[in-house]
Amino acid sequence: MADDSQASNVGGRYAQALFDLATDQKQTAAVEADLKSLKAALADSRDLRVLIASPAFAAEDKGRGLAAIADKAKFNPTTKKFLGLLAANGRVAALPAVITAYERLSADARGAVSAQVTTALPLTAAQSKGVAQALRQALGKDPEIETRVDPAILGGIKVRVGSRLFDASLRSKLDSLKFALKRA
């Protein structure tokens, strides 16, 4: 658990440095787009996740892998240099935390709030609009919604905004009912 906290702290510091540099160069949106693209690649590619997280790969190998991805995806020069620095400093494993922290910094600068919405089935356009409107009303800020599908929740919705989790999933309701019945 300490490792997760440490990676998060390291990720936050690196994200702040990258955000400050991108702001100075007026490249915050371009860097954020690159990081979102990298986040999607991490979600889609098991090989990339292994490369980033595994201590079996040397920092140079991780750097070459990230450089190849950055070149192929035509990332902004600031993003490319940052990924090289991360690899050179042996901090590639903190990349997911860096991406999350950067997205938060960027959203705060825009006056928006990031929300992760998890449902058992994909949301329709009308449902997405309704969730966005409800979040806007509840939070007083425009939400930037990232949706995920997780059939394990069975039904309902889970919304994470920062460290707060609003869980109205059928799975959590069933679990609390099981717990209540065991205690009775």
Block means of pLDDT (10 residues each) for the chain, 184 residues, are 55 94 95 94 92 92 94 95 95 93 89 88 92 89 87 90 85 86 81
Look up the CATH number of domain 112-183: 3.40.30
**Nearest Cα residue to 61 out of 71, 74, 50:** 50
Residue 125, exposed/middle/buried by CB under 10 A (0-12, 13-18, 19+)? exposed
pLDDT value, residue 8: 56
Tokens 């040397």 belong to 58
Quote the pLDDT of residue 36.
93
Q: Where are the domains of the chain?
A: 2-108, 112-183
CB 97 within 8 A of CB 106: no
The Cα–Cα gap between 120 and 157 comes to 8
pTM score over 0.85: no
Q: Which CATH number fits domain 2-108: 3.40.30.10, 3.40.50.720, 3.40.1110.10, 1.10.520.20?
A: 1.10.520.20
Orientation angle between helical segments 28-44 and 59-72, nearest 10 degrees: 110
For residue 4, the model assigns a pLDDT of: 47
Rounded Cα–Cα distance for residues 113 and 123 (Å): 20
